[in-house]
Amino acid sequence: MPAGRRLLVLDGEPGGWLPPGWEVVPQCGGGLDRRLAAAFAHAARLAPRAPALLVGMDTPQLDAAALAEPLSAARRPGADAWYGPAADGGFWALGLARPTARLAALVLHGVPMSTPVTGAALLRRLAQAGLTVRHLPALTDVDTVEDARQVADEVPASRFATRLRALDIAPGVAS
Annotated domain spans of the chain: 6-139, 144-175
- Give the residues of the chain that fall short of pLDDT 70: 1, 168-175
CATH 3.90.550.10 fits 6-139, yes or no: yes
Predicted local distance difference test score (pLDDT) of residue 165: 86
Predicted local distance difference test score (pLDDT) of residue 172: 56
Residue pair 161/152 in contact by the 8 Å Cβ criterion: yes
* DSSP structure class, residue 15: -
Residue at 161: amino acid letter:
A
Q: Which residues, 6 or more positions from 98, have their beta carbon under 8 angstroms from its beta carbon?
A: 49, 51, 80
Express each pLDDT in 11-27 by its tens digit. Answer: 999 999 898 999 999 99
| Calpha distance 104→109 (Å, rounded) | 8
Residue pair 82/133 in contact by the 8 Å Cβ criterion: yes
- How long is the chain? 175
